[in-house]
Amino acid sequence: MAILSVYEEDQQNQQPSSSKKEIILAEKEAEAKKSEEEEKQHKENKPGYPEIDTQKAEPQPSKLSDLDSETRSAVEKTMFDQTQKQKGLPTSDEIKQGQLKKQFMAQNPNTKFPPGAQFM
């Protein structure tokens, strides 16, 4: 009988009472309100600096010739691939993969490949 009462006592201690639940909810609400107030205060503590709407920001026009060679080649490749996709043609990676496939098949003429085999 004593073991059962200790068990019941443990169960009661684990479940928060309605007043404990109210305290927990009040603490959570206070934390949420505090974070909202901190965010508002953070915005207000920037005197002379208007809030920037990034949706309205327009990048400065730039030319490919302004870029370094590595960045320029990456941008040109991306532009080419986008154009190819719009036209329904293979991208530069797909073209390269097709060339490697042809080269491999030429070097291994006795090997049978199923139609549509993927090479990666």
**Contacts of 65 by beta carbon, 8 Å cutoff, 6+ apart:** 72
The pTM score is: 0.44
pLDDT digits (tens, 9 = 90+) for 15-69: 555 677 788 888 888 888 887 777 776 666 666 677 777 888 888 888 888 889 9
Domain ranges of the chain: 2-38
Structure tokens at 97: 């993969």
Secondary structure letter of residue 120 according to DSSP: -
Q: What's the CA gap between 103 and 106, in Å, rounded?
A: 5
Question: How far are the Cα atoms of 26, 29, 36, 40 from residue 33, in angstroms, in the given order?
Answer: 10, 6, 5, 11
